[in-house]
Amino acid sequence: MKDFISKFNESLKNCKCCRCFYDLCAEPGRVTAAKMPIMALLFRPFAVFADKFRLLVAVSGVLGLLTAVLATLLGFNYACMSLETSSQFFFCSGSETAYLLNLCLKTFLIALFIQKWYEIAFLGRPFSFSELLRVDAKTFKTVALLILFILLNMFPALSFYVLYVRVPNPDWVVEITFFAFVSLGFLVPFVVMRFYSVFALFLGNEPVPSLKLIWRRGSGNNFRIILALFVIIVIMMMILINMYAGLRNIEDGYVNYVGVVGEFVYDTVFLMLLSLLVNHAYVQKQLLFGDNADAE
């Protein structure tokens, strides 16, 4: 068994795909780990949310309205998912093509919101409708970066599915190895959380250092980052789930109201809450490479 483990470990070290993992886990050397105070991680995103609330409502409202209009035109209005009688008032689509198109356009608008909110909140760009709706090459790069982050955070679901549908192998060594390898997917989000600052560096037009440097600068702050993201995500889920449940309880006689206003309000509130994650990325960047960190 010891020989098997040593050979397996050696094969991982020689694997090009796994070398980056060993590099990240290597000794920090001369790189000084940044101090990330828990109070800053917890409260600064909410402080930005409160200080720039009027701008946030304006940015979220415009892009939330676009999202609601697209969802209604493509047949995926909020009322279509919540009320049985909605088909009498709204066009509701069952097309997979329309669903994928709606998903792609929503992802694009979310990325556009992330870009514009960061520029307005942290780069001092003035708010204007023309600037808010202007799409450039950076917007498409933001879409790609957002999709990458989403896919990486979906690794636990993929690992769970693979483990659920697998057929157990009678060879216990193969079974344990397979289980251990696939289970690594559950750890991916805990690695990704250390690189939220990449979003802020990219959106701020700042040079993005190597992932190794970002990892080492954030050493010793795992629990603080987990706690800060946990608070934000729990608040987001509580508000969105309660909004969804509350709108479902509206009588069917108000289906027009739910379909028109409910979709717009839900999309706007979602974007406003999403800004907390953008703010967190900025705070991470500030603590790692700003005045509070001795970046090399």
Residues 6+ apart with CB under 8 A from 174: none
Note the pLDDT of residue 48.
Answer: 95
Assign residue 117 a region (left: φ > 0; alpha: ψ between -120 and 50; beta: otherwise). alpha
Identity of the amino acid at 86:
S
Structural contact between residues 137 and 202, judged by C-beta atoms closer than 8 angstroms: no
Nearest to 220 by CA among 23, 33, 19, 28: 33
Q: How many CB atoms lie within 10 A of CB 29?
A: 7
| pLDDT tens, N- to C-terminus, the chain (296 residues) | 455 555 555 655 555 545 544 445 544 456 788 889 999 999 999 999 999 999 999 999 999 999 988 888 887 777 676 555 444 566 677 778 888 998 999 999 999 999 999 999 999 899 988 888 899 999 999 999 999 999 999 999 999 998 888 888 788 888 888 888 888 999 999 999 999 999 999 999 999 898 899 999 988 899 999 999 999 999 999 999 888 777 766 655 566 666 677 888 889 999 999 999 999 999 999 999 874 333 33
Question: Which pairs with CB-CB distance under 8 Å and at least 24 residues apart come from 38-43?
Answer: 38/224, 38/227, 38/228, 40/283, 40/287, 40/292, 41/224, 41/225, 41/227, 41/228, 41/280, 41/283, 41/284, 41/287, 42/227, 42/228, 42/231
Structural contact between residues 28 and 216, judged by C-beta atoms closer than 8 angstroms: yes
Separation between Cα atoms, residue 143 and residue 102, nearest integer Å: 15
**What's the pTM value of the predicted model, to 2 decimals?**
0.83
Using the 8-state DSSP alphabet, how is residue 133 labeled?
T
